[in-house]
Amino acid sequence: MRFDHNKNTKVPYYLRNIIRLFIPGFIYRAKLDRVLKNIVINDYIESRVSYYNKLNEKFSLPDNANSISDFKKEKKKTYYFDLLEYFRFFDTTKKIMYLFGDVIDIPKNPSFVKSRPIDGDNKNSVLMKLDKVRHFIYVNDKLEFEEKKGMAVWRGIAHNLQRQKVIYQYFNHPLCDIAHSRKNDIINNDCYRKKMSLNEQLQFKYILSIEGNDVASNLKWIMSSNSLAFMPKPKYETWFMEGTLIANHHYVLVNDDFSDLEDKINYYNLHTEEAKKIISNANKYINQFKNKKTEDEISLLVLNKYFEKSGQ
């Protein structure tokens, strides 16, 4: 198995979070008032908190809601650790609801989730930065756009119809290196090619971002690179606020069935400066998620709003 230096390694992540488990909770809880008081709340901070937590009316949690003291480690350990990092600042008697995994439906009661539908009344889906060790990856791309291959690339699991159609349509296309990377997948071994590291994919000018169970997990690292993200209009969003991305400003919009993919490749092969401007916009968008202090403050404010609106 090849080591991909661009991916986050989980060992430091787990080590850091396990060490936190041995720090008494009262130490964090004693800091909360001071931390909240010291946050400089400006329009930017307010807009992000309001985006993640759209609960503007008082609400009541059901009797079966858990308390923070009942919050236990489950199979999805990264979700547990990512929520516990901020839960520990609050009184353990406070009630919470949460859903782990790839959530594509809006819960009946206000709940903390990693993902939600962009459209519709999604206020009960309160976004937190979950499974971030897998999803929030940023690359150190040493290749300039002009140095890359003028082709589109994609590797992944073909577990939905959209991905399958793209693979079948472009598997042998001269402007594409597109294939599924798990043998005995839904489409069997047709159109199979071995996995590509992030570094190998960065050799290409255009990288497809295709939603899977929920969001496309590769979008963050594509937008941090010197390659151009090609994707249809997203249907789901996470802490990354995919719903705020502007087509042909942060990424290149393609049809849902990628029927215009060849035309878009040919266009941006001829319009290099336009491609680089979109890449620059994408890089700037990414930068807002790299400030750990700001991310921590926003996370605490999202939780604090949840507790205030639930009368806690």
Task: Read off the tokens for 237.
Answer: 């969003």
- The pLDDT of residue 6 is 60
Choice among 74-88, 193-207, 233-247 with the minimum mean pLDDT: 74-88
With tokens 């040919």, the residue in question is: 266
Mean pLDDT of 132-139: 91
- The pLDDT of residue 185 is 64
Note whether 76 and 123 are within 8 A (CB).
no
- The pLDDT of residue 25 is 87
Mean pLDDT for all residues in the chain: 93
Choice among 45-59, 115-129, 159-173 with the minimum mean pLDDT: 159-173
Cα distances (Å, whole numbers) of residue 41 to 16, 37, 47, 128, 161: 28, 10, 10, 19, 43
Note whether 136 and 223 are within 8 A (CB).
no
- The pLDDT of residue 75 is 66
Q: Answer yes or no: is pLDDT of 298 > 90.
A: yes
